[in-house]
Chains A and B, each alone.
Chain A
Amino acid sequence: MTSLWSRVEPLLARVRKPARYIGCEDGAIEPRHGQGKVAWLLAYPDVYEVGLPNQGLQILYEILNERPDAVAERTYAPWVDLEALMRERGIPLFSVDAHRAAGDFDVIAFNLSAELVYTNVLNMLDLGGIPVHTARREPSDPVVVVGGHAAFNPEPLADFIDVAVLGEGEEVVGEINDVVRAWKASGRTSREGLWRELARIPGVYVPSLYDVVYEGERTVSCTPRFADVPATVTKRTISDLAQWDYPRRPLAPLTEVVHDRLAVEVFRGCTRGCRFCQAGMITRPVRERPAEQVRTMITRGLERTGYNEVSLTSLSTADFSGIEDVVSSIVPDPTACGAPTVSLPSLRVDAFTVGLAAKVASGRRSGLTFAPEAGTWRLRKVINKLITEADLYGAVESAFANGWTRTKLYFLTGLPTETDDDTRGIAELAAGCVAIGKKYTSRASVTVSLGGFVPKAHTPFQWFGQNGVDELQRKINLVRGAASRGVQVKWHDPRASLAEGLASRGDRRVGRVIERVWRDGGTFQEWSEFFVLDRWLDAAAAEGLPVEWFTTRHRTEVEILPWQHLSAGLHRDFLWDDWRASLDEHGLPDCRWTPCYDCGVCTGDGLEHVVASPIPPAGGSQGTGQDLARGGDVPVVVRL
Chain B
Amino acid sequence: MKVRLAYSKVGKIRFLGHLDMAHLWERAFRKAKLGVAVSAGFTPRPKLSFGLALPTAGESLVEVLDVVLDPAPSAERDLDDLAPRLSAVMPAGVEVTGAWVAGPQSIQEDVLATTWVLAIDRAAHDTAARVAALVAAPEFWIERERKGERRRDDIRPGIFELRTDFDPSVLPADWRSEVSASALVEAVVTTSGRGVRPTELVDALFPGDEPWNVMSRVIRTHQWIERTDAPCAPFSVRARKELPHEQRIAVG
Q: Which residues of A contact B (CB under 8 A)?
A: 10, 12-14, 17-19, 21-24, 26, 252, 254-256, 302-308, 334-338, 363-364
Q: In the complex, what residues of A have CB within 8 A of residue B43's CB? A: 363-364
22 contacts between A and B (CB under 8 A): A19-B20, A21-B15, A22-B12, A22-B13, A22-B15, A22-B16, A24-B12, A24-B13, A24-B92, A24-B93, A26-B27, A26-B91, A254-B16, A255-B16, A256-B20, A305-B27, A335-B33, A335-B35, A337-B30, A337-B38, A337-B46, A364-B43
7 tightest A-B CB contacts, nearest first:
A306-B27, A13-B57, A18-B15, A306-B31, A306-B30, A13-B212, A22-B12
**A307–B27 CB distance below 8 A:** yes
Shortest distance between the CB of B203 and any CB in chain A (Å): 14
Task: Judge whether B237 is part of the interface by a CB distance below 8 angstroms.
Answer: no
Q: In the complex, what residues of B have CB within 8 A of residue A254's CB? A: 13, 16, 20, 24, 91
Q: In the complex, what residues of A have CB within 8 A of residue B252's CB? A: none
In addition to A19-B20, A24-B93, 6 A-B residue pairs with Cβ atoms within 8 Å of each other are A13-B57, A14-B213, A22-B16, A254-B16, A254-B91, A306-B89
Q: In the complex, what residues of B have CB within 8 A of residue A18's CB? A: 15, 56-57
Q: In the complex, what residues of A have CB within 8 A of residue B29's CB? A: 306
Tell me which residues from 20 to 57 in chain B have a Cβ below 8 Å from any Cβ of chain A.
20, 23-24, 26-31, 33-36, 38, 42-44, 46, 56-57
Q: In the complex, what residues of B have CB within 8 A of residue A13's CB? A: 15, 56-57, 212
A14 CA to B30 CA, complexed, in Å: 33
Shortest distance between the CB of A348 and any CB in chain B (Å): 27
A420 CA to B56 CA, complexed, in Å: 52
Q: In the complex, what residues of B have CB within 8 A of residue A306's CB? A: 26-31, 89
Q: Which residue of A lies closest to B58 (CB)?
A: A13
Known contacts: A254-B91, A363-B43. The answer to whether A12 contacts B30 by CB under 8 A is no
Q: In the complex, what residues of A have CB within 8 A of residue B42's CB? A: 363-364
Q: In the complex, what residues of B have CB within 8 A of residue A19's CB? A: 15-17, 20, 56
Q: In the complex, what residues of A have CB within 8 A of residue B17's CB? A: 17, 19, 255
Task: Judge whether B192 is part of the interface by a CB distance below 8 angstroms.
Answer: no
A320 CA to B82 CA, complexed, in Å: 41
A467 CA to B56 CA, complexed, in Å: 46
Task: Judge whether B106 is part of the interface by a CB distance below 8 angstroms.
Answer: no
Interface digits, B67-96 against A, CB 8 Å rule (1 contact, 0 not)?
000000000000000000000010111000
Q: Which residues of B contact A (CB under 8 A)?
A: 12-13, 15-17, 19-20, 23-24, 26-31, 33-36, 38, 42-44, 46, 56-57, 89, 91-93, 210, 212-213, 216
Shortest distance between the CB of A18 and any CB in chain B (Å): 4
Q: Which residue of B lies closest to A20 (CB)?
A: B15
A254 CA to B92 CA, complexed, in Å: 12
Q: In the complex, what residues of A have CB within 8 A of residue B16's CB? A: 19, 22, 254-255
Q: Which residue of B lies closest to A365 (CB)?
A: B42
Q: In the complex, what residues of B have CB within 8 A of residue A302's CB? A: 30
Shortest distance between the CB of A373 and any CB in chain B (Å): 32
In this complex, the member of B19, B30, B35, B216 whose beta carbon has the largest number of chain A beta carbons within 10 angstroms is B30
A370 CA to B44 CA, complexed, in Å: 27
Q: In the complex, what residues of A have CB within 8 A of residue B36's CB? A: 337
A94 CA to B93 CA, complexed, in Å: 22
Q: In the complex, what residues of B have CB within 8 A of residue A335's CB? A: 30, 33-35
Q: In the complex, what residues of B have CB within 8 A of residue A303's CB? A: 31
Q: In the complex, what residues of B have CB within 8 A of residue A334's CB? A: 35
A21 CA to B27 CA, complexed, in Å: 21
Q: Which residue of B lies closest to A6 (CB)?
A: B177
A434 CA to B93 CA, complexed, in Å: 52
**B216–A305 CB distance below 8 A:** no
A354 CA to B46 CA, complexed, in Å: 28
A517 CA to B199 CA, complexed, in Å: 39
CB contact between B91 and one of A12, A24, A308, A336 (< 8 Å): that residue: A24
Q: In the complex, what residues of A have CB within 8 A of residue B19's CB? A: 256
A364 CA to B46 CA, complexed, in Å: 16
Q: In the complex, what residues of A have CB within 8 A of residue B56's CB? A: 13, 18-19
Shortest distance between the CB of B55 and any CB in chain A (Å): 9
Q: In the complex, what residues of A have CB within 8 A of residue B212's CB? A: 13-14
In this complex, the member of A13, A19, A254 whose beta carbon has the largest number of chain B beta carbons within 10 angstroms is A13
Known contacts: A254-B24, A308-B30. The answer to whether A12 contacts B44 by CB under 8 A is no
A335 CA to B91 CA, complexed, in Å: 21
Q: In the complex, what residues of B have CB within 8 A of residue A308's CB? A: 30
Known contacts: A337-B38, A364-B43. The answer to whether A252 contacts B27 by CB under 8 A is yes
A116 CA to B19 CA, complexed, in Å: 31
Q: In the complex, what residues of A have CB within 8 A of residue B31's CB? A: 303-306
Q: Which residue of B lies closest to A18 (CB)?
A: B15
**B44–A337 CB distance below 8 A:** yes
Q: Which residue of B lies closest to A304 (CB)?
A: B31
Shortest distance between the CB of B27 and any CB in chain A (Å): 3
Q: Which residue of A lies closest to B218 (CB)?
A: A13
A21 CA to B13 CA, complexed, in Å: 11
Shortest distance between the CB of A399 and any CB in chain B (Å): 18
Q: Which residue of B lies closest to A252 (CB)?
A: B27
**A338–B20 CB distance below 8 A:** no
Q: In the complex, what residues of A have CB within 8 A of residue B46's CB? A: 337
Q: In the complex, what residues of A have CB within 8 A of residue B38's CB? A: 337-338
Q: In the complex, what residues of B have CB within 8 A of residue A364's CB? A: 42-43
A12 CA to B30 CA, complexed, in Å: 30
Q: Which residue of A lies closest to B35 (CB)?
A: A335
A19 CA to B19 CA, complexed, in Å: 12
A22 CA to B11 CA, complexed, in Å: 10
**A338–B44 CB distance below 8 A:** yes
CB contact between A363 and one of B13, B28, B44, B210 (< 8 Å): that residue: B44
A393 CA to B57 CA, complexed, in Å: 51
Shortest distance between the CB of A253 and any CB in chain B (Å): 9
Q: In the complex, what residues of A have CB within 8 A of residue B23's CB? A: 256
Q: Which residue of B lies closest to A303 (CB)?
A: B31
Shortest distance between the CB of A16 and any CB in chain B (Å): 10
**A12–B57 CB distance below 8 A:** yes
A17 CA to B19 CA, complexed, in Å: 11
A306 CA to B88 CA, complexed, in Å: 13
A556 CA to B38 CA, complexed, in Å: 63
Q: In the complex, what residues of B have CB within 8 A of residue A26's CB? A: 27, 91
Q: Which residue of B lies closest to A13 (CB)?
A: B57
A306 CA to B31 CA, complexed, in Å: 5
Q: In the complex, what residues of B have CB within 8 A of residue A17's CB? A: 17
A12 CA to B13 CA, complexed, in Å: 12
**B57–A336 CB distance below 8 A:** no
Q: Which residue of B lies closest to A24 (CB)?
A: B91
A323 CA to B15 CA, complexed, in Å: 40
A9 CA to B122 CA, complexed, in Å: 18
**B20–A255 CB distance below 8 A:** yes
**A336–B35 CB distance below 8 A:** yes
Shortest distance between the CB of B96 and any CB in chain A (Å): 15
A303 CA to B12 CA, complexed, in Å: 25
Shortest distance between the CB of A76 and any CB in chain B (Å): 15
A14 CA to B57 CA, complexed, in Å: 9
